Structure 1
């Protein structure tokens, strides 16, 4: 059987690949190895930025300033816990002094002890609740919306004011941390983070 006769309809044509498949009929020719392949008539599109739903410009990772504000909220909560313990010890000491037999007859001291003890226990309760609020806000930074942002700013302003008065010396650290929380959350990247499109919960 001759393969060299170009007029033989039953012979293998020149340039025909083994197996009977001819290039160019519905099958693209493979490019040589090492040569990048490109599509037919359509240039490659640039990669889409990662985001919720594939939309560009939406932050997918918490900005550094928001992360810092979150850490500062945890620090404020820790300081609130320490303050609550200190004021609880002071309230217990006042209560113990009030029950001292030698001071039972002193009416003025008893009135002062009652007032001081109640005030100290009130401060303890407020410190605990304020610390719980700080932890709640810090936890919600990952999934919360603009409401959490506004609440965090209000929390920071009130904490800064309380740090200035009446707890001037003790609250100085609170004041600095609270102001930084407000600044970091109020920045543009903080606004973008809290106003981002939330992923649907299933």
Structure 2
């Protein structure tokens, strides 16, 4: 009676492991669709849910941060990088320079207008002349109107600069230079008129409360979600990303 290999002391053929299952001393192979680096036979993070085919791993949900990476998944844009506070504060400083230039221009216009009104007051003649008081009052009213008018126009232009550019472009000049953009967190699109206005008005309201405006601009430091959203970003539903 033959029991197989004569060199086998037990007289039996060596058993092969069942197909598809690893045996002792045999290299393990991952099933098709599982990345090799994940290994096989050990639980992996992001494992497929019940009912899903093996090897199908759920994708990151929109709005979720990738842990400690500074990246976030935004609908319509995919994975984007959150803008650093250095870039954001640098962009704010550049915008301050732009606004300062506008302020200088309109202040010069106001001063020139006020000087012209003052010269008109000198032309009123002597206080003994009939109509002198009316002439001086008219010149003084002109000086006040020019001063307030120039400030009003300056405020309107700064409003339109910050509001409309963020609303329709997603960036001011300073943000463009430093590669920063403001988007709607839930769509990835530009903030629009409503989002842009909310994002502008909150720091302006803070300006009337001591250092409130500065606190609003620094408030992203207080955000522990990793998105660096300031109070004005949360109210407007916006996110600042690196382009």
Range of TM-score over shorter length: 0.3 to 0.5
| Greater fraction strand | 2
Structure with larger Rg: 1
Q: Give the structure with the higher percent helix.
A: 1
In the superposition, the TM-score normalised over structure 1's length comes to 0.38
Give the TM-score normalised by structure 2. 0.34
| Structure with the larger RCO, 1 or 2 (CA within 8 Å, 6+ apart) | 1
